């Protein structure tokens, strides 16, 4: 009985110092229900309450950090397995990939405006590189037939040299190929995420005298639609 009373007094002292139930249970080995009964009338000073709040917040942050690390690790494993599924890419596969890219992001010839050139526009440098490879390897387009335009928000005017350096490095073309810059109006109320040092605008690739190629690509797309029964009726 005396030992139990001493444990109770010890638990009360720890509680008054701002210890949590879990901390007290490590020092006073009793049932949690017993501890709750002992401490139900024990008041805490403001400083002790603040300590408990800070410990709870720290525990939440630790839990969040643990989940973040677990998510990163899961993502690594998923990507590792996915990368292993692709060994090589054949020329035919590259051909199909380029058609899909152009179907999604390329300029199509309109009935009311025939004769349009092949034009592709994107802000993803990896996608730009793949499209250029497709033009060179599959379509046999010469480098001299390509022109480039950069479309970027006007609030990035001070970074334009850095942007030109970036696209020159990514495409392998000299900086003088990126002389055309179109500044898009900046809307103050727009909550844009594509800002800062990682923002390089959008690159537009145009193939000169390529209306026939544009029509050929359209034919490839139509055949793919026909085979997969996805034609628009």
DSSP 55-110: HHHHHHHHHHHHHHHHHHHHHHHHHHHHHHT-----HHHHHHHHHHHHHHHBPPPB
Q: What is the pLDDT of residues 92-101, one digit of tens each?
A: 999 999 999 9
54 with 112, same domain? Answer: no
Average the pLDDT over 115-143 and give the result. Answer: 96
208 with 143, same domain? Answer: yes
Nearest to 215 by CA among 116, 103, 92: 116
70 in a structural domain = no
Label residue 217 by pLDDT band (50, 70, 90). Answer: very high
Percent of the chain with pLDDT over 70: 87
202 with 105, same domain? Answer: yes
6 with 59, same domain? Answer: yes
103 in a structural domain = yes
Average the pLDDT over 198-202 and give the result. Answer: 92
> Does residue 20 or residue 213 have the better pLDDT?
213
Highest mean pLDDT among 6-10, 18-22, 51-55, 152-156: 152-156
Rounded Cα distance between 205 and 4, Å, is 82
pLDDT recorded at residue 194: 55
Average the pLDDT over 132-143 and give the result. Answer: 97
Average the pLDDT over 39-45 and give the result. Answer: 67
121 with 218, same domain? Answer: yes
Residue-averaged pLDDT of the chain: 86
106 with 47, same domain? Answer: no
Average the pLDDT over 26-50 and give the result. Answer: 72
Instruction: Return all residues near 174 (Cβ < 8 A) that are at least 6 apart.
Output: 168
Q: What is the pLDDT of residues 155-199, one digit of tens each?
A: 888 899 999 999 999 999 999 999 999 998 866 455 555 566 789
pLDDT recorded at residue 171: 97
Nearest to 115 by CA among 205, 206, 213: 213
Rounded Cα distance between 72 and 77, Å, is 9
Average the pLDDT over 132-157 and give the result. Answer: 95
52 with 96, same domain? Answer: no
126 with 172, same domain? Answer: yes
Residue 189: which domain range?
91-227
């Amino acid at each position: 009985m005396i030992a139990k009373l001493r444990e109770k007094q010890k638990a009360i002292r720890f509680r008054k110092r701002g210890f949590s139930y879990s901390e007290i249970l490590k020092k006073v080995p009793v049932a949690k229900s017993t501890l709750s009964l002992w401490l139900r009338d024990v008041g805490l000073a403001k400083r002790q309450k603040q300590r408990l709040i800070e410990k709870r917040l720290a525990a939440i942050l630790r839990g969040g950090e643990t989940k973040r690390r677990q998510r990163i690790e899961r993502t690594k494993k998923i990507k590792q397995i996915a990368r292993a599924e692709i060994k090589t890419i054949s020329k035919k596969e590259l051909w199909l990939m380029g058609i899909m890219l152009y179907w999604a992001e390329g300029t199509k010839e309109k009935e009311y405006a025939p004769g349009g050139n092949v034009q592709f526009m994107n802000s993803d440098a990896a996608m730009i590189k793949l499209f250029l490879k497709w033009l060179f390897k599959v379509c046999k387009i010469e480098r001299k037939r390509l022109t480039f335009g950069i479309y970027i928000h006007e609030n990035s005017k001070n970074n334009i040299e850095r942007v030109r350096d970036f696209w020159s490095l990514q495409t392998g073309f000299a900086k003088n190929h990126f002389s055309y810059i179109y500044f898009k109006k900046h809307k103050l109320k727009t909550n844009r995420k594509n800002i800062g040092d990682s923002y390089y605008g959008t690159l537009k690739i145009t193939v000169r005298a390529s209306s026939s190629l544009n029509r050929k690509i359209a034919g490839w797309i139509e055949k793919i639609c026909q085979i997969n029964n996805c034609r628009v009726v």
